[in-house]
Amino acid sequence: MDAKPTLCRHFLTLFDLSPLEARTLIARASELKRQLKRGEIYRPFPHRTLAMIFEKSSTRTRVSFEAGMVQLGGHALFLSPRDTQLGRGEPIEDSARVLSRMVDAVMIRTFKQDTVERFAAYSSVPVINGLTDRCHPCQLLADMQTYHEHRGDIRGRRVAWIGDGNNMCHSFMEAAQLFDFELRIACPEGFEPDAALLAAAADHCTIIRDPAEAAAGAHLVSTDVWASMGQEEEQAQRQALFAPFQVNDDVMARAAGDALFMHCLPAHRGEEVAASVIDGPQSVVWDEAENRLHAQKALLEFLLRPAS
């Protein structure tokens, strides 16, 4: 059966936003942040409900979406595979049809990108990609907001991604195109990002094997754990292969003098990043983590408020 047409907006990758929408959204996130810190009450969505489907566990994604929806005046429902028919084999399409008749938006954190795409195709309400193995667009909204708050417009700047060519790397590649910055990717051979995505981003992204060279002159240096969720059995092998790709003081010394360090967390000090870097003066990881709340509130506002 064909998917039914839907008039709502979804957020499955960063490319679901135009460059102007993306910049407007992160500016709005900063304004919502200031508003909250001033103690102002802003509840535009009373009685609105966000369903949060977690096939992958999380701290920041769950707390930021749940707290954000409550701060906007609404309510969030936590749904795990153990608690729903999705975990018992109900077709994704059927779950999408049912849930979207009961809630106002759905956030899904799962493994396959196809899962969120199929769900969105049959949903009559906005669907948000809270993370898949392909990309992590919500994290990049927070990262771009954080950079903008500390250093201004990232357009024309240089960013170094050091580590695995994983879902975070893929979203940085999309961000490079959307926000117009240069991305240098340092990863071991065999751990490159998706070839098709890399080809599409060739004007903005380059593979460089030496992490120090990738970081040279960079205004932002970012990394992630060497073994993501679901790759635990590869931990020992990856530690050996990725050891030369640690973001340490020597790597940061090659970056621009005012370079920032980011990490989506959780972090393993002494593995992908040295403690002196993540806990040092160039690190903005705690602002970055906090901004998940504000960026996602701006995203919810963007998706739930009808266009004027």
Token pair 């049912």 is found at: 98
Handedness of CA 216, 260, 166, 183 (dihedral sign): negative
The span from the CA of 198 to the CA of 44, in Å, is 40
Indicate if 224 belongs to the active site: yes
Name the 3-class secondary structure at 144: helix
Q: Which residue has the tokens 């938006």?
A: 105
Q: Cβ neighbours of residue 291 under 8 Å, at least 6 residues apart? A: 29, 33, 142, 143, 145, 146, 149
R_g of the chain computed on alpha carbons: 19
Q: Are 14 and 175 in contact (CB under 8 A)?
A: yes
DSSP state for residue 88 in the 8-state scheme: G
Q: Any idea of the CA torsion for 289, 105, 127, 222, to the nearest 10 degrees?
A: 0
The rounded distance, in Å, linking the Cα atoms of 28 and 300 is 11
Which residue of the set 109, 118, 170, 238 is catalytic? Answer: 109
Q: Which residue is associated with the tokens 């992630």?
A: 224
Residue 134 appears among annotated catalytic residues: no
Task: Please pick, among 224, 238, 294, 296, the residue that the annotation labels catalytic.
Answer: 224
Tokens of 32: 């919502």
- Set 10, 118, 136, 158: catalytic member: 136
Distance in angstroms (rounded) separating the CA atoms of residues 283 and 25:
24
Tell me if residue 237 is catalytic. Answer: no
Q: What is the C-alpha to C-alpha distance for residues 87 and 90, in angstroms, rounded to an integer?
A: 7
The active-site residue out of 134, 187, 264, 294 is 264
Residue 269 known to be catalytic = no
Known active-site residue 264:
yes
Distance of alpha carbon 288 from alpha carbon 280, whole angstroms? 15
From the list 204, 254, 263, 292, the catalytic residue is 292
CB neighbours (10 Å) of residue 82? Answer: 8
Question: What are the distances in angstroms from CA 116 to CA 5, 14, 123, 164, 182?
Answer: 16, 14, 10, 23, 29
Q: Give the active site residues.
A: 109, 136, 139, 224, 264, 292
